Chains A and B, each alone.
Chain A
Amino acid sequence: MKQMSFWTASRRVFDLSLGEMLWSRRTIFMALVVGGPVLLALIVKVVELFGISALRVNGQRVAGFGIFGVMIWLLFLRFIVPVLGVFYGTALMADEVEDKTITYLFTRPIPRGAVLVGKYLAYLACTLLVVLPSVMIVYFLLVPFSALPTTFGSLLVDMGLLGLGLAVYGAVFAFVGAFCKRPLVIGLIFAFGWEQVVLALPGYLKQFTIAFYLQALVPHAMPSDGVASILQGMFREKPPIAVSLAWLSAYLVVFLYLATRVVERKEYVLEQ
């Protein structure tokens, strides 16, 4: 049987995997995670309709766009993007191994690496189709129309940033999922252990995190009060935009390549 080209095979796997990913049990988890900020924005909107400020810093009202900025920082970039990257990225190959269905994919006349690339693209489409509309809804709930022309550019940067974050975290965790035996645990330790601790420490170790470069690209300033100002103090050291983009692109390409190589070479032993 003639073997399909790499990209045709990837597209076939993408078609198959997108539906599977969207209608899996994980989607409920994703809906909850992404629905949280929407619900929060809705509460803020209702509270502000009654003339009460939803967020105050130093006695000053934080305007809608300020709250949106805080949500992008703390909810989307620091939590939702890594968590989706971990849960979906590590499962790309691990699920097939666990369900013992990987054999069916590997016996098809397609390059093995195309299975991972197709699944990775499906992950990216699936998460982007859920996260970006959620960000859009949060933005329109929080930011008044009068502020739209001045803030819309930042929204586009935010959306690009979230897309980049999902792509890089997905690539890193796709590699972890393909290479390691307990990828979810390792992924969680990396995203919520290593990254959090190292970012708070002085020194060069933070350069070995994704969050360090992602944060450098965020167009929003954190409000300087209490916990927020402590956080800002932690993240004050930031690399130039070009350097951040270069490192994130390098992470994406290198880890996706490594993940593909691992899938092509590794012998997956299915437990009986």
Chain B
Amino acid sequence: MSNKTRYFVAVTGAILVIGLGMGLVASYMGLPVAVFTSAAGPEELEYVPADAAVVAYANVRDVMNSQLRQRFREMEPTQEHQNQFEEKTGLNFEKDIDTVVAAMMPKGNLATDPEGAFLILAKGRFQAARLEALALEHGATVADYQGKRLITHHDADRHDTKHDDMAVGFVEADLIAFGSVTSVQAAIDARRENRNVVGNIEMMRLVSELDNANAWAVGQFDAIAGQAGLPTEIASQMPAITWFSAAGHVNGGVSGVLKAETKDATSAQNLRDVLKGLLALAKMQAGSKPGMQQLADSLILSGEGKNVALSFSVPSEVLEVLEGLAKGRKGL
């Protein structure tokens, strides 16, 4: 064997060994995602605790600036209430909030303590001092937690010790966390200890598959269904979905895709069959209405194995029909 051949064998062998080594380390020891690449999704996910069962995101700025919003703007109720809120807090939802991330951590029973399970992270421009002063005026307390300002409000009318107080944490200059005290503290800890949802491989896989969506939600369906306290009769009839994701893009119209991952291929096939029937019914019902027919035609069912996906598009023609209906009602 010549030296040239030896070098070739060594180089190609090295590529294989390095690749296999990296793959094995990542598979068995959990290579942190951030080592080689930035994680999918917004940066705020670093504040979402690792045990979150559902994560949702909305680019408020995109939605507010969308043609869809402009179209329905004139039908919105009076701005008076909105202005009062702005005067007190200095916060204009339309201009000051850029994005919102919501998470659900179903620790206890969702049905009995829903507030305790939620966490909302809003990114934008906040007047912290003004908000703090307003909160103090209304009987809230302000304290530091791990170097972050935390405004806690105790509901004096509520004597149930099982329920947490609500809190707002100024976790970054342009980011606030809102939820129960436990949730907000968990958010601060999640970022500080680097034990957050970014390390949840399955969740991040679903987030990385979302494309060009300005609003989305991903989650572990079985985790929330198990904690929701549903009656056994309903729970037993629910499809065996393990993961789900919903992503939408709002602009002139609304388009999106709903995806579900089931426990096994048979459950997925059953779900596809049910959806096929519903789609056929929807198409039949929409037959005579041009706008609705377009909407029904845009519904596309796909998926293989354990995956089921339903994509849709609400075209501007359908929105015109809806707009006409809304205006007609307003006129009445």
**Residues in A lying within 8 Å of B, measured CB to CB:** 15, 18-19, 22-23, 51, 53, 57-61, 63, 125, 129-130, 132-133, 136-137, 139-140, 144-150, 152-153, 155-156, 221-225
| CB of B324 within 8 Å of the partner chain | no
Q: How distant is A57 from chain B, measured CB to nearest CB, in Å?
A: 7
State in angstroms the CA–CA spacing of A221 and B268 once bound together.
15
Which residues does chain B contribute within 8 Å of A63, judged by CB atoms? 208-209
B304, closest chain A residue (CB): A221
Q: How distant is B169 from chain A, measured CB to nearest CB, in Å?
A: 27
Which residues does chain B contribute within 8 Å of A136, judged by CB atoms? 15-16, 19-20
Q: How distant is B118 from chain A, measured CB to nearest CB, in Å?
A: 25
A129-B12 in contact (CB<8A):
yes
A152-B27 in contact (CB<8A):
yes
Annotate B295-313 by CB proximity to A: 1 below 8 A, 0 otherwise: 0000010111100010101
A60-B23 in contact (CB<8A):
no
B19, closest chain A residue (CB): A136
State in angstroms the CA–CA spacing of A58 and B211 once bound together.
13
State in angstroms the CA–CA spacing of A211 and B255 once bound together.
40
B15-A150 in contact (CB<8A):
no
Annotate B4-40 by CB proximity to A: 1 below 8 A, 0 otherwise: 1100110011011001101110110011010111011
A58-B309, A132-B16, A150-B201 given; A145·B5 CB < 8 A: no
| CB of B288 within 8 Å of the partner chain | no
Given A150-B205, A152-B27, A225-B302, 6 more A-B residue pairs with CB atoms under 8 Å apart are A18-B1, A19-B4, A133-B15, A136-B15, A136-B16, A136-B20
State in angstroms the CA–CA spacing of A137 and B15 once bound together.
8
Which residues does chain A contribute within 8 Å of B9, judged by CB atoms? 125, 129
| CB of B168 within 8 Å of the partner chain | no
5 closest A-B pairs by CB? A61-B211, A136-B19, A133-B15, A152-B23, A221-B304
A148-B12 in contact (CB<8A):
no
**Residues in B lying within 8 Å of A, measured CB to CB:** 1-2, 4-5, 8-9, 12-13, 15-16, 19-20, 22-24, 26-27, 30-31, 33, 35-37, 39-40, 201-202, 204-205, 208-212, 255, 257, 300, 302-305, 309, 311, 313
Which residues does chain B contribute within 8 Å of A140, judged by CB atoms? 19, 22
Chain A binding surface, main DSSP class: helix
- Of the candidates B1, B24, B303, B311, the one whose C-beta lies within 8 Å of that of A152 is B24
B37-A145 in contact (CB<8A):
yes
Which residues does chain A contribute within 8 Å of B23, judged by CB atoms? 148, 152, 155-156
A23-B5, A59-B255, A221-B304 given; A147·B309 CB < 8 A: no
- Of the candidates B16, B202, B208, B309, the one whose C-beta lies within 8 Å of that of A144 is B208
Among A148, A221, A222, A224, chain B packs the most CB atoms within 10 A around the CB of A148
State in angstroms the CA–CA spacing of A144 and B15 once bound together.
18
A133-B302 in contact (CB<8A):
no
A149-B302 in contact (CB<8A):
no
- Of the candidates B15, B27, B35, the one whose C-beta lies within 8 Å of that of A153 is B27
- Of the candidates A19, A153, A224, the one whose C-beta lies within 8 Å of that of B5 is A19
A18-B1, A146-B40, A224-B302 given; A60·B311 CB < 8 A: yes
B8-A60 in contact (CB<8A):
no
Which residues does chain B contribute within 8 Å of A130, judged by CB atoms? 12
Q: How distant is A23 from chain B, measured CB to nearest CB, in Å?
A: 7
B201-A149 in contact (CB<8A):
yes
B33, closest chain A residue (CB): A146
Q: List 20 A-B contacts (CB under 8 A).
A: A18-B1, A22-B5, A57-B302, A59-B257, A59-B300, A61-B212, A133-B15, A136-B16, A136-B19, A137-B19, A145-B33, A145-B36, A145-B37, A146-B39, A147-B201, A147-B208, A150-B205, A152-B27, A156-B23, A221-B304
Which residues does chain B contribute within 8 Å of A221, judged by CB atoms? 304-305
Q: How distant is B242 from chain A, measured CB to nearest CB, in Å?
A: 13
State in angstroms the CA–CA spacing of A225 and B36 once bound together.
33
State in angstroms the CA–CA spacing of A161 and B113 once bound together.
52
Which residues does chain B contribute within 8 Å of A61, judged by CB atoms? 209-212
Which residues does chain B contribute within 8 Å of A15, judged by CB atoms? 1
B19-A58 in contact (CB<8A):
no
B30-A129 in contact (CB<8A):
no
Which residues does chain A contribute within 8 Å of B202, judged by CB atoms? 150
A144-B40 in contact (CB<8A):
yes
Which residues does chain B contribute within 8 Å of A57, judged by CB atoms? 302
